[in-house]
Amino acid sequence: MVSDIHLQQFRSYTDALYEFGTGVNIIVGPNGCGKTNLLEALLVLARAGSYRVPDSELLQFTKEWLRLESHDENGETRTLKLQYKPQLQKTYSIAGKEYRHIPAAQLQPAVLFEPNHLQLLQGSPEGRRSYLDDLLEQTKPVYAKTRRDYRRVLAQRNALLKRYKVAESQDFFPWDVRLSELGAIISRARNELVASLSLPLTDLYAKISKSPTRVTIRYQSRFDSESYETNLLHTLEMTRHEDVLRGFTSYGPHREDMTVLFDDHPAALVASRGETRTTVLALKILELQKLEDATGQQPILLLDDVFSELDGARRRSLTAYLQRYQTFLTTTDADIAAKHFTDSTIIPLGDA
């Protein structure tokens, strides 16, 4: 848990210190007062990077350094220093030990909901692939390397496709083999994750929404998991001519997708905004549970504008699942949030 945070020259904060409660922390203020920036700072310290911008854009305009520091319930200090000149340098300090790159074991589990996550249902397949891959990276330590290796091999194959005018070159074969091997690992891991989420999602959505609608998720792949390597390798060889003409690789996990279904109908076509928000929030609750099981630590929960477009019944149902986690919740109306949470900590920003 995070007991406090000190922000210096970070985004809209020149120098600010906030103390937090162990339960629900309601960050309240008008639009534009820095509520989302405060959530971002918490995530940067927990996960070593922003979900919004590159490191260089975290500094206040014209400033040459920033500093973030937090303490946990045991008094352990966690610090990020970012120096922009003469070159961008990033240094972490955790319990007095310095790092250039935080080891995976030192990352703090955290789950974020922000309005752009509503595109998970209606947005591009890339967003859904990233959702699965990011969760897998946090729950399976070796997955991050597999993901990086796959991207590197894919980039090499695509470079060859642009270089060659004919598809018969034997230079493709080793890249096709490696792409098939890594692709199978990624596709199987995503398939297993989706399968582990689908049934709990059905139950959780029903409890939060009080609706009979059956919500499920499916992973969409052209190839069967058991024979994925063989089938992908064969397809890469058979479609190489078309790939040369296109200049990119047409098959593999980088082209696969996850579908959310409402009573077996694509949610992108039938779900209302309230139903979409409820589904994404249910997935975030399942994400909390996955992270806690994988790391043995209780994640912090960051909720940006979570109550918009949810009726009172759904708000009440949602809060029942959040009470046991340290939660940071932004809102322009503290009364709406506070009446759903007992013993919450109110953190006013701006003119609130």
Residue 230 maps to a domain:
no
Domain residues for the domain of 74 are 1-108+299-352
Residue 125 maps to a domain:
no
Domains held by the chain: number: 1
Residue 14 maps to a domain:
yes
Spatial contact of 228 and 183, defined as CB atoms under 8 Å apart: yes
Q: How does pLDDT run across 286-333, given as a tens digit for each residue?
A: 999 999 999 999 999 999 987 776 667 777 777 777 778 899 989 887
Residue 64 maps to a domain:
yes
Q: How does pLDDT run across 171-199, given as a tens digit for each residue?
A: 899 999 999 999 999 999 999 999 999 99
Give 230's Cβ-side CA count (13 Å radius). Answer: 4
Residue 309 maps to a domain:
yes
Residue 338 maps to a domain:
yes
Residue 40 maps to a domain:
yes
**Sign (positive or negative) of CA dihedral 334, 338, 340, 345:** positive
Distance CA 129, CA 285 (A): 19
Which pLDDT score is estimated for 321? 78
Structure tokens at 63: 């400033």
Residue 19 maps to a domain:
yes
Which pLDDT score is estimated for 337? 67
Contacts of 7 (CB under 8 A, 6+ apart): 13, 15, 16, 17, 38, 41, 67, 68
We report the CATH number of the domain holding residue 43 as 3.40.50.300
**Whole-model pTM?**
0.88
